[in-house]
């Protein structure tokens, strides 16, 4: 079964579970229920070696019958061929289940990372990094032989029952051996939990640090901070290695103990069998047979101990992932709203950074209608960019509301809302792909005419066709092959793509020349003429020259709102002035 068919098979699971976490658990559980059933047949086949030895010692040797020996050997060969096929089937089934897990959980984990992504640091950034690491760790474990080994544990009683059928004392010895190994497994689980948690936290911290260095390599090198970051990375890596070493040492100890105990009990079963045979309570063939069965009974437990470190890590990853999956599940509205076309209403808006209870912006209220534009001005650090992030749903409102056509923006699913919004952040991020793909917001399919129209609106068409391959130019990660001004013009075209209703431009002229300023004003005029609402956050007066209204933000509060000329006239005589650079 390929992953595409698996995804279709999993569709009804979403309605069967209260949240995506339940759907994932149900999907994996159903898949592994089949593997456990296959394990029953596999473990029955495993008894064939013991039965073969029993028949050889108790039937073939006393009778001296070579044809009987050959017949038994042929039968055993057929059984082992079937066993090999079953083992192959089990491993391939585990791989498919891992694909199912990826189909169901992967997009949800990515959505969680995006929902919690906006410029977060510290604990929240670590949670984002951990979410994808947990996903990879779980998918790897689900498709691994370690998970298959756990499926043999439920069939361990088969071997114990057969041991009891040979003799009660042999059965009791096997039960004692399994009990000792299970006790070691439980103790190993307890001792492994703390270092596994520490290692996971250190790994997330190290990964976040590496990501920071990768994204800011130029700044770090230019400021002579390479040594500082190298020390921080070394500290995080030392914590990870220390915790991993503790966990590995514990695992090594219990794996060694379990192997020694298993070998000792196997020899003990031989000795006990020989004693019982001397007393004529069992046959000589049973001595060898029960030794094999006792060894096989303890093998699943020994394998589980050997893989226990991975099992503990996978279990903790699942416990953390459930939070991410449920966060995504509870964030999905069920009713699809029509596209907004008339109004933007902001009432008593307060904004704080995700994970922080401190308000960066408060008491913002204004209303605008379709076809209007608003310039947002104020000193640096006043909260203008926080307003921009809130208006497009990147940061949730801590207080108050943001409504489009009377509906709070949270009533739209994130991707559905995004189609009605255009957003140009201060720092324009472009992605690996062509210029056209970036303008089209990485859509799976798009019309070239729409891409070109958006570029022309942004005044970027001539710029783009002047690139080596025009719209098909590959720009690389973060658009590093382009200048800051080129990235900003292409970012503006991306914001205008699809004729969104609400367009929010945060410092759109910061990297533009005079020609770029003119293109921006033309883009604002074009957008408002088709009844879009444009919000322009700016320091330079030229950026708000085309705006109908002006909103003044000062010290994290709304200071004024009204017609542009009136507000600018007031600001020329008040404490808040528009910067001229």
Q: Which of 322, 317, 323, 318 is nearest to 201 (CA)?
A: 317
Q: Which of 307, 291, 193, 293 is nearest to 258 (CA)?
A: 307
Q: Where are the alpha helices (DSSP H) in 279-355?
A: 284-306, 308-329
Model confidence, pTM? 0.65
* DSSP secondary structure letter of residue 365: E
pLDDT at position 372 = 94
Termini Cα distance of the chain: 62
Give Dmax over CA atoms of the chain in angstroms.
117
Task: For the chain, give every domain's residue range.
Answer: 3-329, 343-572
pLDDT at position 451 = 94
Q: What's the burial of 56, exposed, middle or buried (CB within 10 Å: 0-12/13-18/19+)?
A: middle
Note the residue count of the chain: 581
CA–CA separation, 172 and 359 (whole Å): 68
Quick check: 263 and 254 in contact, CB under 8 A?
Answer: no
CA–CA separation, 526 and 516 (whole Å): 15
* DSSP secondary structure letter of residue 434: B
| DSSP code per residue over 517-538 | HHHHHHHHHHHHHTT-EEEEE-
What are 275-288's pLDDT values in tens digits? Answer: 988 888 888 888 88
HSE toward the beta carbon, residue 400, CA cutoff 13 A: 20
Q: Which of 390, 384, 425 is nearest to 404 (CA)?
A: 390
Beta-ladder partners of 350: 399
Please identify which residue in the block is written with the tokens 């699943």.
Answer: 300
Quick check: 386 and 351 in contact, CB under 8 A?
Answer: yes
Structural tokens at position 487: 């990235």
Please identify which residue in the block is written with the tokens 């079963």.
Answer: 269
What are 245-269's pLDDT values in tens digits? Answer: 887 787 788 778 878 888 888 888 8
CA–CA separation, 417 and 397 (whole Å): 15
Structural tokens at position 52: 């073969």
pLDDT at position 95 = 85
Fold of domain 343-572: Rossmann fold (3.40.50)
pLDDT at position 326 = 65
pLDDT at position 530 = 92
pLDDT at position 19 = 55
pLDDT one digit per residue (tens) for the chain, 581 residues: 344 443 333 333 343 334 566 666 776 777 788 888 888 888 888 888 888 888 888 888 888 889 999 999 999 999 999 989 988 888 888 888 888 777 767 766 666 655 554 444 334 444 444 667 778 888 888 888 878 877 887 888 888 888 888 889 988 988 888 888 888 877 877 777 777 778 777 877 787 787 777 777 767 776 677 788 788 888 888 888 888 888 778 778 877 887 888 888 888 888 988 898 888 888 888 888 888 888 777 777 777 777 776 777 777 778 777 766 665 555 555 578 889 999 999 999 999 887 677 888 989 999 999 999 999 998 888 889 899 999 988 888 889 999 999 999 988 877 788 889 999 988 888 888 899 999 998 888 889 999 999 999 998 999 999 999 999 998 876 556 788 888 889 999 999 999 999 999 998 887 777 777 788 888 999 999 999 999 999 876 667 888 889 999 988 899 999 998 888 777 665 544 444 33
Phi, psi of 358 (to 5 degrees): -85, 125
pLDDT at position 244 = 80
Domain 3-329 indexed as CATH 1.20.1560.10: yes
- CA 286 to chain CA centroid, Å, is 53
pLDDT at position 479 = 59
């Amino acid at each position: 079964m390929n992953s595409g068919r698996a995804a279709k098979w999993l569709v009804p699971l979403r309605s069967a579970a209260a949240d995506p976490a339940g759907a994932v658990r149900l999907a994996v559980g159903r898949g592994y229920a089949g593997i456990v059933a296959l394990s029953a047949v596999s473990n029955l086949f495993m008894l064939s070696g013991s039965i073969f030895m029993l028949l050889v010692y108790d039937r073939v040797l006393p009778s001296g019958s070579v044809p009987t020996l050959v017949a038994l050997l042929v039968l055993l060969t057929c059984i082992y061929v079937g066993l090999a096929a079953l083992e192959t089937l089990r491993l391939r089934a585990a791989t498919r289940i891992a694909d199912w897990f990826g189909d169901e959980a992967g997009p949800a984990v990515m959505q969680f990372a995006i929902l919690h992504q906006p410029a977060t640091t510290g604990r929240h950034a670590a949670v984002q990094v951990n979410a994808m690491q947990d996903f990879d760790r779980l998918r790897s474990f689900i498709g691994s032989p370690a998970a298959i080994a756990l499926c043999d544990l439920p069939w361990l009683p088969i071997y114990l029952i057969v041991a009891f059928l040979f003799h009660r004392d042999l059965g009791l010895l096997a039960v004692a051996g399994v009990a000792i190994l299970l006790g070691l497994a439980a103790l190993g689980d307890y001792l492994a939990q703390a270092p596994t948690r520490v290692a996971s936290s250190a790994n997330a911290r190290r990964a976040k640090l590496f990501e920071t260095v990768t994204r800011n390599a130029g700044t770090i090198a230019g400021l002579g901070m390479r040594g500082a970051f190298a020390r921080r990375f070394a500290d995080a890596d030392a914590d990870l290695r220390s915790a991993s070493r503790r966990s590995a040492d514990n695992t090594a100890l219990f794996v060694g103990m379990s192997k020694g105990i298993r070998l000792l009990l196997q020899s003990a079963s031989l000795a006990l069998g020989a004693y019982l045979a001397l007393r004529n309570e069992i046959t000589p063939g049973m001595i060898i047979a029960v030794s094999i069965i006792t060894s096989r009974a303890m093998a699943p437990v020994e394998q589980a101990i050997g893989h226990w470190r991975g099992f503990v890590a996978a279990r903790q990853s699942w416990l953390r992932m459930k939070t991410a999956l449920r966060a995504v599940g509870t964030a999905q509205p069920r009713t699809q709203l029509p596209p907004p076309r008339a109004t933007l209403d902001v009432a008593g808006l307060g904004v704080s950074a995700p994970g922080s209870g401190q308000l960066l912006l408060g008491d913002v209220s204004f209303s605008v209608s379709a076809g209007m534009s608003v310039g947002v001005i104020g000193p640096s650090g006043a909260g203008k960019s926080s307003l921009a992030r809130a208006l497009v749903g990147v940061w949730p409102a801590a207080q108050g509301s943001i409504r489009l056509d009377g509906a709070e923006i949270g009533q739209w699913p994130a991707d559905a809302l995004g189609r009605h919004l255009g957003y140009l952040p201060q720092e324009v991020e472009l992605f690996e792909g062509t210029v056209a793909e970036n303008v089209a917001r990485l859509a799976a399919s798009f019309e070239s005419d729409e891409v070109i129209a958006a570029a022309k609106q942004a005044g970027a068409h001539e710029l783009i066709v002047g690139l080596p391959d025009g719209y098909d130019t590959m720009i690389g990660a973060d658009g590093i092959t382009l200048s800051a001004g080129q990235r900003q013009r292409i970012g503006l075209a991306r914001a205008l793509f699809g004729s969104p209703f609400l367009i929010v431009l945060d410092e759109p002229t910061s990297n533009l020349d005079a020609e770029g300023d003119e293109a921006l004003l033309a883009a604002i005029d074009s957008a408002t003429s088709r009844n879009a609402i444009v919000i322009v956050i700016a320091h330079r007066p030229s950026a708000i020259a085309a705006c109908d209204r002006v909103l003044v933000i000062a010290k994290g509060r709304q200071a004024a709102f009204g017609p542009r000329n009136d507000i600018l006239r007031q600001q020329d005589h008040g404490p808040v002035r528009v910067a001229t650079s």
